[in-house]
Structure 1
């Protein structure tokens, strides 16, 4: 019996305690069967310690809805051929699958059938799936599969809104869920360098967010739009979009939102070459972050992503764009020291930027060492691959015949793989 480290990592991705995971699993079970789940903290403890190596079917279906992946991905071990399944377990599995199928059919019931009532439990179930999308983005990022799944979940939320009976408050929440999923589809497209798709997702997400009245998701969508135009090197559009996010009431009420808005403004100002604007925005972002205490009810997409490490990452991007390489390197080291363990893609991006900052200061050897230290699977990520291509071009421009340039060229030929 060994600890289930995979499940622990997935829980850490979302910042879930044992009690919170139990609650989310019970919400999923209730949404699929109509009966509240009975998963307890002790149940989750048994999963984590390996005492329960292969949970019952209804638990696994609920876990899949929460995390977006199957039992083996979550570290559970399927019983071997010699394992005898208890007859009661098999009956429970068949009963649960039948109940789940019935719940799915109820959502898409044909015309003339009595519509089902949609309530806050359905919204909670969708929010749990949204948390799973966020976790998948942190692990993989930029993949078309994440974009497609998020867009499909938005459609599911809208189907509930169209076909069910719901209060005005629940309908608004369903529009908010759909907007949240579309914002994740948008970010996956941005991260994967599919900018045309990202712009289409933004149009739909912004419309859904407006119908929801949810200020937090409106902030995320317009802040993403600012990042989209920054990556497309359209700083005027980027500043305008990010200004929409920063002007929302939630950015005035909650300093954590304000801090993210200022930090992203700094990164955009880096493209314009405005040193004073960068310094001013980074300072405001830091002041707001210092005032942002814990205890507020904040969305998972914000708390799972934005912290001091991300602020320094955005400051790094800003100073790198300005050519202020020493300042950029300082922010890179600070970000790397504070990054949470599951943020592997962010760590690779920061290392790629650090390599460029070191090269800008004439440090050929440390720059190449830093760039070569990025694991191959992360070096293949579209954003990281683009950064490393630009690093290689800069290295050739600075020292085309140096041993370091030759080493880098050989390394890329031997180890770099095309993005998946």
Structure 2
């Protein structure tokens, strides 16, 4: 078994230890959509000659790292004649001469590629925070989705530059979060098929980033999407997947959010005891939360949002008085800049009031929801919720003056905002 001097010389020239080369090859594998399975032992087998012809995907990654063919690195396929082994100093001198004075041997690719680093990561993260603020104000819309997908494409595109493994994982994490933002925009706009496509991609990117926080975010949005689709069992499963991520065990705020999503799923299935129990877990976890740095997308969640989610649970369980009380608590605590969230909570308040027989007060509450979103398109989720209110209003109070008055106003608002959506 002959030692692979050619590979060793190339590693020396690049200053690569076995573990570092393994990391570089794994980076290349992941960027091509494969698992990074190369370790010190793999590289040692290459050097000792035990492995004379690595797998195709490993050969491709080695070519990207060193900028030369596998045969130049001392590898040869089974059955092919083994290249003559030369003295190490001869190989080194030839390599140095070629890289300095000729174009016949390629310059190492890693050295030639422009580098990407922490400043690029920070810039892309700042762009993501800006989109989060836009969502909190206006809700989901096409421009937000497109901007998020553009950010994801840029983060993935930077994988083509030289970077450490840590930077590459951060870029995948950023791409996952941008894609999750696009998915959320579609969820809020009720573009359900596009949302599912984006969530699938976001989960793939989060896996390559090995980022449990991004994974939790995707499962959280998947639970919401399942709620919209009426796929209640899948909603519970997605919320439980969110509970199982590493970040929920580390940070009680994420644990609380995952339990709240689970509560909604149970309530949709009519499982009152399980829903109330999950709400209790959510409240308990939230009480243990401490101030610490967290990504901007989860800034919406806290006591106010938990009250809003509790109102939905109570509404689904047929407990309108409890739903109304929870909605009032949510609105008293929700920041004013969260216009969309406040409008959603107000619409749920109106439903709770209507289901208690107070049509006049309920119609007045929906006026507040329209007012909160004045000057902006109505997000799809809010439009559907107001449509549910309209349907129940015509069912529960079809002949009242206030119902006819509100129906005229609702149709007018719908037409105006629908035109704006175009």
CA contact (8 A) 1:147 1:184 kept: yes
- Report the 3-state secondary structure (helix = DSSP H, G, I; strand = E; otherwise coil) of the residue aligned with 2:112: coil
What's the TM-score once normalised by structure 1's chain length? 0.71
- Report the 3-state secondary structure (helix = DSSP H, G, I; strand = E; otherwise coil) of the residue aligned with 1:117: coil
Question: Is 2:196 aligned against 1:205?
Answer: no
- Report the 3-state secondary structure (helix = DSSP H, G, I; strand = E; otherwise coil) of the residue aligned with 1:373: helix
Q: Indicate the residue corresponding to 2:294 in structure 1.
A: 298
Question: Is 2:226 aligned against 1:229?
Answer: yes
Gaps of 5+ in 2: 1-108
Gaps of 5+ in 1: 1-110
User: Match for 2:272 among 257, 262, 275?
Assistant: 275
Write the distance in 2 (CA, Å) between the matches of 1:409 and 1:139. Answer: 27
Write the distance in 2 (CA, Å) between the matches of 1:275 and 1:378. Answer: 37
Q: Indicate the residue corresponding to 1:186 in structure 2.
A: 183
What is the Cα deviation at residue 293 of structure 1?
Answer: 1.2
What is the Cα deviation at residue 141 of structure 1?
Answer: 1.3
What is the Cα deviation at residue 113 of structure 1?
Answer: 10
Q: Indicate the residue corresponding to 1:246 in structure 2.
A: 243
Structure 2 CA distance for partners of 1:152 and 1:368, relative to 1, 3 Å:
same
Q: Indicate the residue corresponding to 2:258 in structure 1.
A: 261
Q: Indicate the residue corresponding to 2:331 in structure 1.
A: 336
CA contact (8 A) 1:348 1:379 kept: no
What is the Cα deviation at residue 414 of structure 1?
Answer: 3.8
Question: Is 2:125 aligned against 1:127?
Answer: yes
Write the distance in 2 (CA, Å) between the matches of 1:261 and 1:172. Answer: 25
Q: Indicate the residue corresponding to 1:289 in structure 2.
A: 286
CA contact (8 A) 1:378 1:384 kept: no
Write the distance in 1 (CA, Å) between the matches of 2:329 and 2:209. Answer: 38
What is the Cα deviation at residue 238 of structure 1?
Answer: 0.9
Write the distance in 2 (CA, Å) between the matches of 1:268 and 1:130. Answer: 29
Aligned Cα RMSD in Å?
1.6
Structure 2 CA distance for partners of 1:283 and 1:237, relative to 1, 3 Å:
same
What is the Cα deviation at residue 384 of structure 1?
Answer: 1.3
Write the distance in 2 (CA, Å) between the matches of 1:279 and 1:365. Answer: 30
Question: Is 2:384 aligned against 1:372?
Answer: no
What is the Cα deviation at residue 265 of structure 1?
Answer: 1.0
User: Match for 2:216 among 193, 214, 219?
Assistant: 219
Q: Indicate the residue corresponding to 1:116 in structure 2.
A: 114
Higher Cα radius of gyration:
2
What is the Cα deviation at residue 112 of structure 1?
Answer: 12
1:287-316 Cα offsets, whole Å, 9 max, x none, are: 11110011x3322211x2111111111111
Q: Indicate the residue corresponding to 2:407 in structure 1.
A: 409
What is the Cα deviation at residue 272 of structure 1?
Answer: 0.7
Q: Indicate the residue corresponding to 1:418 in structure 2.
A: 417
User: Match for 1:323 among 313, 318, 321?
Assistant: 318
Write the distance in 1 (CA, Å) between the matches of 2:354 and 2:134. Answer: 33
1:256-284 Cα offsets, whole Å, 9 max, x none, are: 11000011111222211111112111111
CA contact (8 A) 1:348 1:378 kept: no
CA contact (8 A) 2:141 2:185 kept: yes
The number of equivalent residue pairs is 307
Q: Indicate the residue corresponding to 2:10 in structure 1.
A: none
1:371-406 Cα offsets, whole Å, 9 max, x none, are: 122224467321111111111111111111111211
Write the distance in 1 (CA, Å) between the matches of 2:136 and 2:368. Answer: 20
Question: Is 2:163 aligned against 1:166?
Answer: yes
What is the Cα deviation at residue 241 of structure 1?
Answer: 1.3
Question: Is 2:354 aligned against 1:355?
Answer: no
1:120-166 Cα offsets, whole Å, 9 max, x none, are: 1111111111111111111111101111110111000011112x100
Write the distance in 2 (CA, Å) between the matches of 1:223 and 1:402. Answer: 41
CA contact (8 A) 2:223 2:239 kept: yes
Q: Indicate the residue corresponding to 1:309 in structure 2.
A: 304
CA contact (8 A) 1:193 1:382 kept: yes
Structure 2 CA distance for partners of 1:398 and 1:368, relative to 1, 3 Å:
same
Which aligned segments of 4 or more residues in structure 1 are displaced greater than 3 angstroms? 111-114, 376-379, 413-416
CA contact (8 A) 1:150 1:184 kept: yes
